[in-house]
Amino acid sequence: MNIRSTEMGLNKEALDSNGNTASSNPSAAADRAPVRGRGARFDGKAVLITGAAKGMGKRTAGDLLSEGAKVVICDVDHRALALTVEEFEALGGSVRGFVCDVSQREEVDRLVGYTVSEYGGLDILINNAGILIPGSIEETSDEIIRNTLDINVKGVLYAIRAVTPIMKSQGYGRIINVSSITGKNGDNSSCFAYGASKGALISLTRSVARQLGPFGITCNAIAPHAVMTAMMSYWSEEKKQQIAEKIPVRRLGTEQDMSNLMRFLASDEASFITGETVNINGGYYMD
């Protein structure tokens, strides 16, 4: 199993909370991102995805593997990361795991260096790692502000800065940032620091697109809303239903919806799209 820590290799067999290996754990098997032969749109492309041990990062990684990509996934959760790498390896494809806290510049630099050493380059960067700590303005502590900005903004800055010379030397690159509708529209209840961090990514995406466009590098963001991931686990069933009723397509978003959009933006078909923050929310917010 290919798992690398910023300090040491982690090669022991991954176990779940019940002591089962991923391959013997039915719930883990059921949650596997599909790795199937669906063509080779990303054949040979080297991909780095942050925050990809679970959720839409994991789903996107699995889909990219199924289309021929070589993928490094990183996460701070080494246990979940080990399980995900084991799942993907069992299904085929070239995948590596790297334990990394994206708020730490040195760790991000090592992560990018590891990706290049394993795959000989880096074609696609997906900045998916992020945190959401609910709280109104009065409830948001200095620590929440610091942690949110460190991970959601500084982590993205560190990763983009680290991959820039590599992509420029290749004359090719795709950078995708995960923003949010709260970064465009704000939030009136519980996402004070989170909304600020996601708004910053929209401006950052435009700046990177302008600076790196002449080198064959595109940079885009996605702005999801109401996507059912672990980050939204604090929503009650009643709230989920209330939100779905306000969405024109009358449903919540899925991890697969997010993967579909991110893979399009990472593809050659999207080579004339850059600097954009694409809404993906079933029509909840339109601009």
List, for residues 85-114, the tens digit of each pLDDT value: 999 999 888 999 999 999 999 999 999 999
The token duo for 78 is: 């080494």
Q: Say which CATH topology domain 3-280 has.
A: Rossmann fold (3.40.50)
Over residues 199-216, the mean pLDDT reads 99
pTM higher than 0.75: yes
114 is catalytic: no
Segments making up each domain of the chain, as ranges: 3-280
Per the residue annotation, which of 194, 234, 284, 285 is the catalytic one? 194
Beta strands in the chain (DSSP E): 3-5, 46-50, 70-75, 94-99, 124-127, 173-178, 217-224, 277-280
Distance spanning both ends of the chain, measured CA to CA: 45
Share the mean pLDDT of the chain: 88
Q: How many CB atoms lie within 10 A of CB 261?
A: 21
- Least confident residue range of 85-89, 175-179, 221-225, 231-235: 231-235
Query: What was the pLDDT predicted at 5?
Result: 67
Residue owning tokens 């997906």: 126
